[in-house]
Amino acid sequence: MKTERLGVYGGTFNPPHIGHRHAAGAFVEEAALDRLLVIPDYLPPHKEYAGGATAEERLAMTRIAFAGIPRTEVSDLELCRGGKSYTSDTLAALSALGRELFFLTGTDMFLTLPAWHEPERIFSLATIACIRREDDPHLEKEIAARAAEYRATFGAKILLLRASAIEVSSSELRTGLAARDPAALRLLPDGVADYIGTRGLYL
């Protein structure tokens, strides 16, 4: 039986933006995924939830934002589970015989993984894929050093994506949306701006 290559992309997605969509597409292609699960979290364990949209509204926006990306679907796994959304629990729930897991991180997440809840479990359950910020030689060296450290300490499997991240600050985006700034609206995937406008979110 063929092993399924399953990607996991978690986040608050408050709101989902073009940077999220770009990262998902790059992840699917470069990791040669059979399927990607995009999973909005219920309560992020590493930061305070900023508000602006309910869990159900974030889920709906995420489904709109990631529509049309090949082999990609949005899951309500963490929203249904409730409580703090620990990556180790999500990966354990998805692990199965005949399935190989890949977990997508950005630069900041990648560099802080040892401080996460049960990092050993995360490294044992999935290959860690990192989409990096563009054109920062110092940061590239730091990422390479940290990848080597993770391999030596945890026996980690690391995949550094060739694609660069599209950097969007979610907090700045929410501020722009509150003012209905056209520049902020351009950072949203098709359909998300309409949903936000119809529901009166982030005002």
DSSP for 143-189 reads: HHHHHHHHHHHH---EEEEEEEP----HHHHHHHHHTT-HHHHTTSP
Predicted local confidence at residue 203, as pLDDT: 86
Per residue in 91-121, pLDDT (tens digit) is 999 998 889 999 999 999 999 999 999 999 9
CATH number for the region 4-168 comes to 3.40.50.620
Predicted local confidence at residue 117, as pLDDT: 95
Predicted local confidence at residue 98, as pLDDT: 85
Predicted local confidence at residue 82, as pLDDT: 87
Quote the CA–CA distance of 37 and 140 in Å, as a whole number.
27
The amino acid at 116 = W
Per residue in 29-41, pLDDT (tens digit) is 999 999 999 999 9
End-to-end CA distance of the chain: 51
- Say yes or no to pLDDT of 47 above 80: no
Per residue in 127-159, pLDDT (tens digit) is 999 999 887 888 999 999 999 999 999 999 999
Give residue limits of the domains in the chain: 4-168
Q: How many CB atoms lie within 10 A of CB 82?
A: 10
Alpha helix positions (H), the chain = 18-30, 55-65, 77-81, 87-94, 107-111, 119-125, 137-154, 170-178, 182-185, 192-199
Non-local (6+) Cβ contacts of 47 within 8 A are none
Predicted local confidence at residue 126, as pLDDT: 98
The amino acid at 152 = A
If phi > 0 it is left, if psi is from -120 to 50 it is alpha, else beta; for residue 13 that is left
